[in-house]
Structures are given as structure tokens and as C-alpha cells.
Amino acid sequence: MADPLVEFDGVDKFFGKTHVLKNVDLAIEEREVVVVIGPSGSGKSTLLRCVNRLEEIRSGDIRLDGQSVLEADVNEVRQRIGMVFQSFNLFPHKSALGNVALAPKKIRGLPEDAAEDRARELLDRVGLSDQTGSYPEALSGGQQQRVAIARALAMDPTVMLFDEVTSALDPELVGEVLDVIEGLADDGMTMVLVTHEMGFAREVGDRIVLMADGRVVEVTDSEAFFERPETERGRQFLSRLL
């Protein structure tokens, strides 16, 4: 069998003396959509941030396509991993098009025309072909987040990581962002998502990873997880949602 696309192998992470990831093993296959759930403070964001080395791990290894990210050039690793956060962090003085075209121009050295053509394609893919010239302040939260997704896609990442990307949005704007993510799943993008949207997790996720207190406590196919979780922690987590 091929290597998993992303693999956590005995990962330990500390913040000072606080042990926040405890011997985490997790393998994510190509084209898989893995949804990470769990209580606040359980280590979900840290798990994602370790993959592109926004956080340093104490021990263990994280491999991308079979290669340790710890040994690779950090900029190369970050180019291969698209990450979208709760806060959109768009460049305020650039249009939607400018935001999406920037990294391909600056980092890849793509000519302006080619970078902008590609940016237009990506903005079209996230449903914003009519907003290419708009500046972030003129866009709704849902539109800004979709620009942020297009920007992350612009470097042709191998895997996309989403950390609670709809948590800061007004409820009526959540759906348009989830629709974009679902479209990426349909196109076969490998994704790891932290989300509180359980309906979405069930529908779009292939597997659910439940974290508690820095550990992965359950990994179950998503349909099965919501029907009958395998662990007591899983049952507790679901019962609190009701």
C-alpha cells in the first residue's frame, strides 16, 4: 500500500511544562477527509499547526508523503500544505484577486498574467468570480473566508488543513463556506478539518478523529461514529451535543 499522505508517528508536543499532544499516531490517506473533533483545549489546533511547523514537536515524527516534515525545508513544507484559520487574515490593501495571486507571484515567481489567470479560476471555484476586484472590507465574512480558501489553493497544496473556518461567521454565512469545502472533497482533495459543524462532519467526513486532553481517543468512520461511537469518550461527546 502507498504511504499515507500525512502521518503522525508518536507525536509529543509541550508548551512549557504542559503536555498538549500525547503520543499521537494518525495516518491520513490521499483523498481522505478527516474531521477532528473534541472539547476546547484538547489539542486540535495544535495538531494541525504541527503539520506545517507553526509549532515544534518534542518527539515523534510527522511525515508528508513519506517524508519527515521535520527534516524538510520549512518553506517547502508550507507550500505543500494549505491552511485556513478561523480568522481570514486577508491582506486588507489587496483585492480578492491580489490576495490570491500574491504567493504564486512572490514565491513561485509566476508572471503577473499567469498568476492572475489562475487566481481568477480559483475565485470562480469558490463562487466569487464577480468579486475579483473587491477589497476585503467590502466582502462579507463568508466571502472573505472563501477568498482565504482560494488563496490557500493557489500554491496547489497536497493537503488542506481547516481550523474552525466557520466559527467566526454569522450563521447564515456558514453554508456557503462549507459548500466550497464539500466541493473540494468531491474533487478528491485530501483534507483535515477541525469543526463544530457535526452535520457537515458526518456528511463530508470519511473518518472522525476524537481528541481529548491531548490524545487521539477514537478514530472511526464518520457514519459509524455518529451511529455508535466505539468509546465511552465518544458517547459522552455525542450526548453533550444533544
**Residues contributing to the site for ligand ADP (CB under 6 A):** 15, 18, 20, 38, 40-46
Of 22 and 94, which CB lies nearer to Mg ion in the complex structure?
Answer: 22
Least Å from the CB of residue 217 to ligand ADP: 13
| Phi-psi group of 127: left, alpha or beta (phi > 0 → left; psi -120 to 50 → alpha; rest → beta) | left
Residue 15's binding partner out of Mg ion, ligand ADP, none, with CB under 5 to 8 Å set by partner kind: ligand ADP
CA distance 208 to 198: 10
Q: x/- contact string, 30-59, with Mg ion (CB under 5 A)?
A: --------------xx--------------
Given strand 81-84, what is the order of strands in its sheet? Answer: 81-84, 159-163, 190-194, 33-37, 207-212, 215-221
Least Å from the CB of residue 20 to ligand ADP: 4
Residue 132's binding partner out of Mg ion, ligand ADP, none, with CB under 5 to 8 Å set by partner kind: none
Least Å from the CB of residue 210 to ligand ADP: 11
Q: Cell 473518518 maps to which residue?
A: 207
Of 103 and 210, which CB lies nearer to ligand ADP in the complex structure?
Answer: 210
- According to the binding rule CB under 5 A, does residue 190 interact with Mg ion? no
**Stretch (H or E) spanning 145:** helix 141-153
SS3 assignment, position 193: strand
Least Å from the CB of residue 57 to ligand ADP: 13
Of 58 and 196, which CB lies nearer to Mg ion in the complex structure?
Answer: 196
Of 115 and 217, which CB lies nearer to Mg ion in the complex structure?
Answer: 217
Q: What is the DSSP string of 195-226?
A: -S-HHHHHHH-SEEEEEETTEEEEEEEHHHHH
47: which 3 cell numbers? 495538531
Of 43 and 98, which CB lies nearer to Mg ion in the complex structure?
Answer: 43
Least Å from the CB of residue 31 to ligand ADP: 25
Check if the beta carbon of residue 184 is closer than 8 Å to that of residue 84: no
**Residues in CB range of 83: below 8 A, 6 or more apart:** 48, 52, 152, 160, 161, 162, 163
192: which 3 cell numbers? 483535515
Total residues contacting Mg ion by CB under 5 A comes to: 2
Residue 40's binding partner out of Mg ion, ligand ADP, none, with CB under 5 to 8 Å set by partner kind: ligand ADP
Least Å from the CB of residue 45 to ligand ADP: 3
List contacts with Mg ion (CB under 5 A): 44-45
